[in-house]
Amino acid sequence: MERTLIKDLKENIGKEVLLKGWVSEIRDLSKVKFVIFQDRTGDIQSVANKTTEEASFNLISDLTKESVVEVIGTVKEHPESKWGFEVLIKSISVIAAAETPLPIDPSEKSQTHIDKRIDYRFLDLHSKRTQSIFRVQSTILQGFREFMYREGAMEVALPSIIGASSEGGTDLFQISYFEKHALLSQSCQLYKQMLACSMEKIFTVFTVWRAEKHNTVRHLNESRQFDYEEAFADDKKVMEVLGRCVQFIVKTVAEDRKKDLETLGVTLKVPETKYMTFEEIKQLMATEKVEMSEHDLSGEAEKKLGELYPDTVVFVHEWPIDGKPFYIMPSGKNSKGFDAIWQGMEITSGGQRVHDPVLLQERLQAHNLELDVFKDYIDSFRYGAPPHAGWGLGLERLTMLMLGLDNIREAVLFPRDRDRLTP
Ligand code: ATP
Ligand code: MG
């Protein structure tokens, strides 16, 4: 007999089916016993009574929660239940028993702290809520790729072990590499630029490592980024692409993940876009009495933007050159760098890049960075490098903000943070 998925039960009313899944609830009323179990497509109540095979009927009293069972039974209408039908058990057997007590409670009633849940992530992944978060994240990944293919961009795979820092500034993890000393990549900046300067339009889903010691609810030490880079483009062009990209991803999740959004209690609205210069933001924040520096947005300023412009991706552009990395193109006293803020937090940094080797050297010097270290990078622009621009969008940050999660650790399967290397 072939396995039926729980989502297909309503097409099988009156028929005998074979189901497999994880037990979430057992109610033993001695003459009649109920087992609620779930598979990847949903959950269902099954019921055992005097028509059930005796061994199976007895077995239910010893069942443990989260055990994996195989049920053979008949689908019956049952209008009073929340499903509208149930499965009358003919036989039930245990495929894999769960030991007791469970180290954490994966049921909806659970109030277990996030740290403990991640300690037992394998079991936390039995929880409907956790499953819904990562099904949404899967659709975010799919939406990003689909959008990019439609844009005519090509996906590339880039290295994570690098010989020298590609950005300067951020702390990097050091690793030993045979006789040499190497680093874990904190961005794929150099590589995506090289690719744009040949293949024109590229994207990648890239893991980055940042050895920053901060321990916040919005930072991880290992995170994933959606990176995009386009030749013959400026900051305006790639902001426009980013706006449509976020809209496409949100729309895809809203359409394809209705059930998961319901489980998570989230109503999604496709965001609008709004463009503001850094100068305009400064004036706005002065009016709103929110402090910020001369060349960077404060966390409070980002939060304020979220309050003033809900459901809007705010592009803060014409950023002061002092607030951006050396590879961002200067523009008068400002730059062609930007940040995108959504729901009160930065989701993306991007901009037009410096593609002229002479200007690049000047910019490196202005940042007190050694030219020697960046020789290969500078040289890559000597043989036909067009103007280009791009951005990096944090996957976990996006997931967190889309679902209104209060800690970025909820939005990553196996977080790497200041204190955590396992599981
Ligand atoms: P922030 O100012 O929020 O610390 P950043 O400016 O250092 O971020 P970028 O280097 O601009 O980050 O990275 C691009 C995007 O990647 C960010 O906008 C954010 O969405 C995400 N991101 C950056 N750092 C982290 C991190 N430590 N953990 C999770 N996501 C991150
Ligand atoms: Mg940034």
| CB burial readout 236-263, b (16+ within 10 A) else e | eebbebbbebbbbbbbbbbebbeebbeb
pLDDT at 52: 98
Residues of the chain with pLDDT under 70: 166-170
Torsion angle of the four alpha carbons 220, 221, 227, 229, in this order, in degrees rounded to the nearest 10: 130
pLDDT at 169: 58
The ligand minimizing its distance to the Cα of 397 is 1
CATH superfamily of 128-411: Bira Bifunctional Protein; Domain 2 (3.30.930.10)
Q: What pTM value is reported for the model?
A: 0.97
Neighbours of ion ligand 2 (CB under 5 A): 349
pLDDT at 168: 64
Residues at CB less than 6 angstroms from ligand 1: 210, 219-220, 223, 225, 346-349, 392, 394, 396-397, 408
Alpha helix stretches (DSSP H) within 85-169: 114-119, 121-124, 128-151
pLDDT at 303: 98
Torsion angle of the four alpha carbons 55, 56, 57, 62, in this order, in degrees rounded to the nearest 10: 100
pLDDT at 164: 76
pLDDT at 108: 86
> Could you tell me the distance, in angstroms and rounded to a whole number, from the CA of residue 392 to the centre of ligand 1?
8
> Could you tell me the distance, in angstroms and rounded to a whole number, from the CA of residue 338 to the centre of ligand 1?
13
3-state secondary structure of 170: coil
pLDDT at 116: 97
Contacts 24+ apart (CB under 8 A), 169-176: 169/325, 170/210, 170/211, 170/212, 171/210, 171/211, 171/212, 171/213, 172/209, 172/210, 172/211, 173/209, 173/211
pLDDT at 214: 84
Question: Which of 2.40.50.140, 3.40.50.1820, 3.40.50.300, 3.30.1330.60 would CATH assign to domain 6-96?
Answer: 2.40.50.140
pLDDT at 166: 65
What does pLDDT average to over the chain? 96
How do the domains of the chain map onto residue ranges?
Answer: 6-96, 128-411
